[in-house]
Amino acid sequence: MTEIERAEIGRRLKQIESDLWQIQHILERCCPDKELPTSTRFKEITMLSTTGGNTQVFTGTFVPAGSVPPADAVYAITSNDPAVTPTVDATGLIVTGPLPVGWVESTTTPLAYTRTASSVSVPSWSLSDIITPSAPPAPLPTSTTFVQTT
């Protein structure tokens, strides 16, 4: 091997080393040492029924515990009912569902919210979580009213 060939190999190895350092630096900036969340658990904090005029608020925690989303995570929320327009805060962990006055939940399609998350810096990461608020059970009857029919 000639001196020129050795010099060229050395130059290429230094370039590879530089490229690897840049890749490592990019990964350290966009991907925290902690694990990325794989889902979110939501719990209603207002404990209000799905009755028109109520505003339900849900808080979430990322799963697994201690996981952290990418810094540039973007969150969106939709409802399966066009009359209900939920919102999600910048953290992606607080969902608010204002139910319009007079709104009545469908008996065939219960209300559901779909919260999604994505990231430009980590395009392989995304979340899609469904929140299904449920009305509390109907109270037990306390009396009966009879009407004569014949």
**What's the pLDDT score for residue 8?**
85
pLDDT tens readout for residues 58-97: 999 999 988 999 999 999 999 999 999 999 999 999 999 9
**What's the pLDDT score for residue 6?**
82
Q: One digit per residue, pLDDT tens: the chain, 150 residues? A: 788 888 888 888 888 888 877 776 676 566 555 688 888 888 887 778 888 999 999 999 999 988 999 999 999 999 999 999 999 999 999 999 999 999 998 888 889 999 999 999 888 999 999 998 865 555 666 777 777 776
The span from the CA of 110 to the CA of 82, in Å, is 13
C-alpha 146: how far from chain center: 50
Could you tell me where the DSSP H helices lie in the chain? 3-30
**At 128, is the secondary structure helix, strand, or coil?**
strand
C-alpha 55: how far from chain center: 19
**At 107, is the secondary structure helix, strand, or coil?**
coil
Q: Please state the length of the chain.
A: 150
Strand-by-strand arrangement of the 74-79 sheet = 74-79, 113-118, 126-131
The span from the CA of 67 to the CA of 132, in Å, is 23
**What's the pLDDT score for residue 138?**
56
The span from the CA of 100 to the CA of 54, in Å, is 8
Copy the structure tokens of residue 74: 């973007």
For residue 93, with 0-12 CB atoms within 10 Å meaning exposed, 13-18 middle and 19 or more buried, which class applies? Answer: middle
pTM: 0.66
Please say whether the beta carbons of 91 and 129 come within 8 A: no
Residue 122 sits at φ, ψ, to 5 deg, of -130, 75
